[in-house]
Amino acid sequence: MIGIGYCTKQSDKRIDDSNYINNMLMPGQENKENESWGCSYHGDDGYSFYSGSGGPYGESYTTGDIIGCYLNFRNNIVFYTKNGINLGIACHLHSNFKGILYPCVGFRSQGGSIEANFGNKGFKYSGKFIQRNYKKLNNALTLEYQKKVYFIMGGYENMLVKLTDELTKSLKKELNNAFELSYRGKIFFIMGKYDEAFEDLTRLLEIEQDNIIALRYRGEINYVMKRYNESFIDLEELLRIKPND
């Protein structure tokens, strides 16, 4: 098991203190004793963790994969890439965040090692390439990655409108495309269009009853709209599928 990300300084304890080492938390997991902050992308399950809370984020990763960790202080976000593909926002820094962040890697297995690149050679990921080639993008998967890049680089609101238009056109041809329903529903949620998001996510759950993304977002929509019983049902179903979430 490996976790890659950022953290504040945790402790000045000696590394030969075996009791301390055995009870250290993985990056991103809460440390109340030292009030540390952390954000991490874990390889065993693809979850991201942010100061104690975790949830589904990306694919799992293992030996041979290249994981990029990126900080954007303009928008106060942290995001990751896997083998050059942007996985989207993992967490947000507090607007009044102060302190020093350190690159952080955690292992839960003996003998593990990584190779780190702090700029001494080219990076696998380049967001500007996607921005320059916008006119060549014509499928939902690529548009989704561009949406994430535009959030990171600015110009996000216009991109959301363009993306929903593209997805709507595509869904007219294929009404039950689960991938496109999922992303349009999430985009509507981000835009505050909860009725439209709810409709897409409900359609998605009719196609894939155990879709954890749809259950999570629809549960949040029901909560925001004060439909607490419906929210409870969705989140209870989510916990049935992911009991440790």
In a domain, 63, yes or no: yes
Examine the pLDDT at 199 and tell me if it is beyond 90. yes
Q: Give tens-digit pLDDT for 69-108.
A: 888 777 778 888 888 887 877 887 776 666 777 888 888 7
How far is residue 214's CA from residue 186's CA, in Å, rounded to a whole number?
Answer: 8
pLDDT score at 66: 92
Query: What residue has token string 């967490």?
Result: 91
pLDDT score at 104: 86
In a domain, 122, yes or no: no
Q: Give tens-digit pLDDT for 132-168.
A: 443 434 455 555 555 555 554 445 566 677 778 888 8
Query: What's the token pair of residue 129?
Result: 């390439």
The verdict on 131 and 225 lying in the same domain is yes
The verdict on 86 and 146 lying in the same domain is no
The verdict on 132 and 88 lying in the same domain is no
In a domain, 62, yes or no: yes
The verdict on 73 and 164 lying in the same domain is no
Domain count, the chain: 2
The verdict on 70 and 149 lying in the same domain is no
Residue type, 218: R
Query: What's the token pair of residue 25?
Result: 């938390």
Examine the pLDDT at 205 and tell me if it is beyond 80. yes
Q: Which of 79, 107, 135 is the last residue of a domain?
A: 107
pLDDT average, residue stretch 59-64: 89
Percent of the chain with pLDDT over 90: 9
Candidate from 3-17, 63-77, 106-120, 146-160 with smallest mean pLDDT: 146-160
Q: Which of 50, 75, 107 is the last residue of a domain?
A: 107
CA triple 107-66-63, angle to 5 deg: 55
The verdict on 98 and 197 lying in the same domain is no
Handedness of CA 85, 27, 152, 126 (dihedral sign): negative
List the domain range (segments joined by +) for residue 183. Answer: 127-241
Which residue, among 242, 227, 235, has the nearest Cα to 194 in the 3D structure? 227
| Cβ–Cβ < 8 Å for 40, 28 | yes
In a domain, 146, yes or no: yes
- For the entire predicted model, the pTM comes to 0.50
What angle in degrees, to the nearest 10, is found between the helix axes of 156-173 and 178-190? 150
| Cβ–Cβ < 8 Å for 179, 200 | no
